[in-house]
Amino acid sequence: GAVVSQHPSWVICKSGTSVKIECRSLDFQATTMFWYRQFPKQSLMLMATSNEGSKATYEQGVEKDKFLINHASLTLSTLTVTSAHPEDSSFYICSARDRSGGGAYNEQFFGPGTRLTVL
Amino acid sequence: KQEVTQIPAALSVPEGENLVLNCSFTDSAIYNLQWFRQDPGKGLTSLLLIQSSQREQTSGRLNASLDKSSGRSTLYIAASQPGDSATYLCAVSGNQFYFGTGTSLTVIP
């Protein structure tokens, strides 16, 4: 149980285009999902917290108009990188917290990540 | 703000050795601590989760301990194998998840 999927697993796009990444909890409902970014040889940095039915909370330094987050249902959150530029190239990972309390308290289940390359 | 540090940043050992990875955190008000493995270009694989009320967890050749009062955790890997080569991340869960800087492990055949 507690599986989180991401789609696509990798994407290459031209500079200036927008890219949407999906994060789904497959066998549980998630009121809260998280989006992380990881640059090469660095650790994961939290970008934003996504709550179902409300606006996302962005970490300091993350542009909310550039990284649009939508959490329209209890099993789906999307991250859209708008007007992508080469410096946005990174590994994006989402995680989800089980609404029913499955797993340890405050445990997060992680998706496999999406590799974004902006040319 | 919680800060999580992992030492060493990189480690290279011959196959068969026992080894210890260290993780320290500055705020002891955590819900749990989790160890992950990350292979190059891949996502995270959860290895062990220790709840704040627990002292240690074991899974196969892995043993993780938690000393919340001193803000430390260790991941012990017994009889290391080349397949253990990866980056190991610890993360503490408070109001949000805070990841450590990672330890890159290479096990030499």
- Judged by CB atoms closer than 8 Å, whether chains meet at A107 and B34 is answered as yes
Whether the pLDDT of residue A105 is over 70: the answer is no
Interface of B with A in 51-80 (CB under 8 A): 51
Query: What token pair was written down for A117?
Result: 């390359």
Residues in chain B with CB shorter than 8 Å from the CB of A93 are: 43-44
- Judged by CB atoms closer than 8 Å, whether chains meet at B97 and A104 is answered as no
CA distance A32 to B30: 18
pLDDT (tens digit, 9 = 90+) per residue, B77-101?
999 999 999 999 999 987 778 999 8
Residues in chain B with CB shorter than 8 Å from the CB of A49 are: 96
Q: B1 burial class (0-12, 13-18, 19+ CB within 10 angstroms)?
A: exposed
pLDDT greater at residue B5 or residue A108: B5
- Are B25 and B83 within 8 A, CB to CB? no
Rounded to the nearest 5 degrees, what angle is found at the Cα of B101, between the Cα atoms of B13 and B31? Answer: 110
Chain A to chain B Cβ contacts (< 8 Å): 49
- Judged by CB atoms closer than 8 Å, whether chains meet at A108 and B41 is answered as no
CA A74 to chain centre: 14
Distance from CA of B105 to the nearest CA of A (A): 13
CA distance A96 to B8: 29
- Are A5 and A112 within 8 A, CB to CB? yes
* pLDDT for position B97: 85
* pLDDT for position A52: 84
Q: Which of B51, B96, B102 sits opposite A49 (nearest CB)?
A: B96
Q: Which of A46, A30, A22, A27 is nearest to A97 (CA)?
A: A30
pLDDT (tens digit, 9 = 90+) per residue, A28-87?
888 889 999 999 888 899 999 998 888 899 999 999 999 999 988 889 999 999 999 999
Mean pLDDT of A2-21: 95
pLDDT (tens digit, 9 = 90+) per residue, B9-65?
999 999 999 999 999 999 998 989 999 999 988 889 999 999 999 999 999 999 999
Residues in chain B with CB shorter than 8 Å from the CB of A112 are: 42-43
Whether the pLDDT of residue A116 is over 90: the answer is yes
pLDDT (tens digit, 9 = 90+) per residue, A19-30?
999 999 998 888
Q: Which of B44, B49, B100 sits opposite A104 (nearest CB)?
A: B49
Distance from CA of A77 to the nearest CA of B (A): 18
Q: Which of B41, B51, B100 sits opposite A115 (nearest CB)?
A: B41
Q: Would you place residue A11 in the very low, low, confident or very high pLDDT band (cuts 50, 70, 90)?
A: very high
